[in-house]
């Protein structure tokens, strides 16, 4: 019998996440929550950084112990490396969905804390990393793989990472829960973002889980079908979406002036342990 997922949210957000995770009963049959995913050999953890409201995702093959970490944050890199060690994992890749403007990536520090870990970012981001990747490549860890889909619009170098069985999509800032990333700096383009989401994310199976890089309301997970039908921005026409995004008038991120230069050296910058 299906049971609500009780394992995908960080402790701080768990009460709300219990109500929101695994929104469709059929999801458990394909192994979407952390517990059922682990029964299929995939270890999955969703971690949270409260200052920038960033989600970091740890995925690992429970048999080979090979792991990847998506969107680590500098301030929580020590926490993440400790978890990797406690679980006996071998972190192959510290992956960035894009060049973030609201926090400094933790990839540089993680490379020091976990020797052998390699930083990853899109070749189109303009950033430096150990592995520059584009759509068509894969990041393999044990029996699993992440397949990047190019989803520019928030930045030129945005990638959505899709688990090889299309059960999970890590969308960065391209698609948020009932929202999307802004398009008013860093090569932002509302037209490109609209096309990216509709062509590269909304074409995934409806029960594919959507895991964004940020959430500001305490939600932890959505589905492609939910966002395809309920997202108040991306259910608009292209013209209405462009007008909306061009008139948000948001203040710039507090950390942008030092986060972007640091993240352009993603994973190779000198960071004191």
Residues 6+ apart with CB under 8 A from 168: 32, 44, 162, 208, 209, 211
pLDDT higher than threshold 50 for residue 77: yes
Q: What's the mean pLDDT in 152-169?
A: 97
Confidence of residue 40 (pLDDT cuts 50, 70, 90): confident
Q: Give tens-digit pLDDT for 84-96.
A: 999 999 999 999 9
pLDDT higher than threshold 70 for residue 22: no
Confidence of residue 18 (pLDDT cuts 50, 70, 90): very low
Q: Give tens-digit pLDDT for 250-268.
A: 998 989 998 999 989 876 6
28-32, 63-67, 259-263 — most confident range: 63-67
Helices (H), the chain: 14-20, 34-39, 77-86, 107-113, 190-196, 224-230, 238-245, 256-263
pLDDT of residue 115: 96
- Cut 0.85: pTM above it: yes
pLDDT of residue 3: 33
Could you tell me what percent of the chain has a pLDDT over 90?
Answer: 79
| Cβ proximity of 158 and 151 under 8 Å | yes
pLDDT of residue 258: 86
Burial level of 16, CB count in 10 A (0-12/13-18/19+)? middle
pLDDT of residue 35: 72
Length of the chain: 273
Which region among 14-28, 34-48, 123-137, 221-235 has the lowest average model confidence (pLDDT)?
14-28
> How many Å apart are CA 91 and CA 110, to the nearest integer?
9
Q: What's the mean pLDDT in 176-180?
A: 98
| Cβ proximity of 117 and 110 under 8 Å | yes
Write out the two tokens for 55: 């989600």
**CB burial string 142-168: b at 16+ within 10 A, e below:** bebbbbbbbbbbbbbbbbbbbbeeebb
Confidence of residue 17 (pLDDT cuts 50, 70, 90): very low
Q: Give tens-digit pLDDT for 189-208.
A: 999 999 999 999 999 999 99
pLDDT higher than threshold 80 for residue 158: yes
Confidence of residue 272 (pLDDT cuts 50, 70, 90): low
CATH number of 11-248: 3.60.15.10
Average pLDDT of the residues of the chain: 87
């Amino acid at each position: 019998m299906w049971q609500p997922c009780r394992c995908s949210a960080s402790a701080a957000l768990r009460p709300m996440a219990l109500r929101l995770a695994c929104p469709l009963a059929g999801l458990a049959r394909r192994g979407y929550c952390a517990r059922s995913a682990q029964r299929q050999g995939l270890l999955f953890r969703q971690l949270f950084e409260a200052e920038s409201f960033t989600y970091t995702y740890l995925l690992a093959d429970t048999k080979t112990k090979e792991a990847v970490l998506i969107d680590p944050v500098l301030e929580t890199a020590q926490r993440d490396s400790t978890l990797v060690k406690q679980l006996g994992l071998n972190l192959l890749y510290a992956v960035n969905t894009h060049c973030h403007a609201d926090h400094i990536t933790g990839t540089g520090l993680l490379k020091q804390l976990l020797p052998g870990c390699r930083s990853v970012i899109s070749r189109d981001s303009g950033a430096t990393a150990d592995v520059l990747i584009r759509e068509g490549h894969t990041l393999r860890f044990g029996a699993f793989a992440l397949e990047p889909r190019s989803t520019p619009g928030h930045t030129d170098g945005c990638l959505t990472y899709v688990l090889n069985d299309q059960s999970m999509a890590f969308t960065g800032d391209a698609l948020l829960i009932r929202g999307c990333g802004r398009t008013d700096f860093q090569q932002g383009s509302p037209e490109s973002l609209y096309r990216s989401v509709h062509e590269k994310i909304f074409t995934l199976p409806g029960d594919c889980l959507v895991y964004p890089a940020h959430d500001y309301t305490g939600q932890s997970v959505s589905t492609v079908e939910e966002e395809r039908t309920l997202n108040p921005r991306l259910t608009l026409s292209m013209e209405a979406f462009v007008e909306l995004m061009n008139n948000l008038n948001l203040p710039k991120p507090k950390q942008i002036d030092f986060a972007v230069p640091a993240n352009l050296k993603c994973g190779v910058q000198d960071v004191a342990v």
